[in-house]
Amino acid sequence: MFFSIMGFLKSSSLIKIQNILAKFPLTKPSQIHSHGRTKLRPNEVLKEYLKTNATAKALFLFRDLIRKSISSIDSFSLLYITKVCTRKSLPHEGRQFHTLVVKFGYEPIIFIQTSLVSYYSSVANLADARQVFDEMLTKNVVCWTVLISAYVDNQKPNSALKLFREMQMDNLEPDQITLTVTLSACADLGALDMGKWIHNYIRRSKKLDKDLSLYNALLNMYTKCGDIETAKILFVSIEKKDVKTWTSMITGYAIHGQATEALSLFRAMTQTKIIPNDVTFIGVLMACSHVAMVDDGKRYFKKMTEDYGLKPRISHFGCMVDLLCRAGLLQEAKDFILQMPVKPNAVLWRTLLGACGNSGGVDLAEDVRGRLFELEENWAGDDVIMGNIYGSSGIWDKKEITRNRINERRVPGCSWIEVGSEINEFVAGDCDHPFACKIYEKPKIE
């Protein structure tokens, strides 16, 4: 990785960068340097473009700076342009700007390093994010937090928790942002012990800035870990709630099949000034689907668009399909999928296929399997369901064909479970591997 950057340096990094930027047409200088009425300096324009999400404009401007006034590029320009790349997850451009950072000697600046870690995380390049972090001579809370977020964002919550512990072993105190991020790793893992440990840490700490995001993260951790009682107590104790607070609690009840509680909480929410958003409705629809309240689900789905002007996304349609399937309305579910305004994905069809496995219907199942074959032909679970359907219908020849398909797969299917929290050694290598053990020590709760 850094090898290649050094390689770029030797073979003139500027030419490489110009190549990357050459695909954008030239912008006249007058358009660049005057912004509004007053003339602004390039960095101020870049900052403005960043604020307004004008990615292309920012890249045009930066290219013109390289071509015409390279001396006006400083560490702030590079910081802003790196943030532009992060915001849009541009997979190639950020690396080129990293090259420039090296060339200009801005590598030791902690703000630059931190935003590079964040950039590599945004393009799912954890190896380079880690390398920039490892090469930092002085590390502070912010860069540790960015790296922890990187692992959370890229579905490596065990690694995130491991880093959280390493940070403390490095004698750095986490702040409220570190804790918010770490709590989401706990939520992803169902790591209730660690979550409680953090809750306790928050209670003890006097200097921590305990803002609403932190409490929302705590609430979310408790609901995702299944401790709905503590979640409820926490929810009540939060005086100033926002839409996320309400949504977390509603979704928490929904996940645990407590539809009545979820829906009455939604009604209570409508009595406040907090307006439900599309995510809130996912919680509401989940609640209906988990207890097969078909008519209520349909009503809320309508309410969402008609009363709140919210446009349903694929996940909302997914909730509806789930709702119809759980109620055994398989044909209606299929019709619903076919008339959706968005293209159905594999997950959606798979919901229906799973339902066919529960309540029969070989013809429908074969139809759905055919559609799934076009989307993700090698998903082992689909064949398992088909095999079971054939088996329960006594169609043994087709069952055998399906079983053989499964056995011929090169990559075995796998599942994983949480293995208690007493183990404080982690399995060598990737600790987010499905077969790795939990990696943190059992916290001592005072």
Partner DNA sequence: ATAGGGTTAG
Residues that bind DNA (CB under 7 A): 43-44, 47, 74-76, 79, 83, 86, 109-111, 114-115, 118, 140-143, 145-146, 149, 152-153, 175-178, 180-181, 184, 187, 211, 213-214, 216-217, 220, 224, 243-244, 247-248, 251, 277, 279-280, 282-283, 286, 289-290, 313-315, 317-319, 321-322, 345, 347-348, 350-351, 354
CB burial of residue 440 (10 Å; 0-12, 13-18, 19+): buried
Nearer to DNA, 8 or 116 (CB): 116
| Shortest spacing between CB 195 and DNA, in angstroms | 13
| Shortest spacing between CB 19 and DNA, in angstroms | 27
CA nearest neighbour of 185 among 221, 211, 210, 229: 221
| Shortest spacing between CB 280 and DNA, in angstroms | 6
| Shortest spacing between CB 115 and DNA, in angstroms | 4
For residues 435 and 423, the answer to whether their CB atoms sit within 8 Å is no
Nearer to DNA, 109 or 401 (CB): 109
Question: From CA 420, how far away is CA 193, in angstroms rounded?
Answer: 10
| Shortest spacing between CB 301 and DNA, in angstroms | 13
Nearer to DNA, 123 or 181 (CB): 181
For residues 27 and 61, the answer to whether their CB atoms sit within 8 Å is yes
Task: Give SS3 for 34.
Answer: strand
Following DSSP, what letter does each residue of 115-151 receive, concatenated?
Answer: HHHHHHHHTT-HHHHHHHHHT-SS--HHHHHHHHHHH
Nearer to DNA, 99 or 178 (CB): 178
CA nearest neighbour of 65 among 44, 91, 36: 44
Q: Chain centroid to CA 441: how far?
A: 26
Nearer to DNA, 59 or 147 (CB): 147
| Shortest spacing between CB 235 and DNA, in angstroms | 12
Question: From CA 234, how far away is CA 241, in angstroms rounded?
Answer: 11
Nearer to DNA, 89 or 140 (CB): 140
Tell me the two tokens of residue 408.
Answer: 């011929």
| Shortest spacing between CB 400 and DNA, in angstroms | 26
Angle 289-290-295 (CA atoms, 0-180°, nearest 5)?
35
Nearer to DNA, 44 or 332 (CB): 44
For residues 15 and 106, the answer to whether their CB atoms sit within 8 Å is no
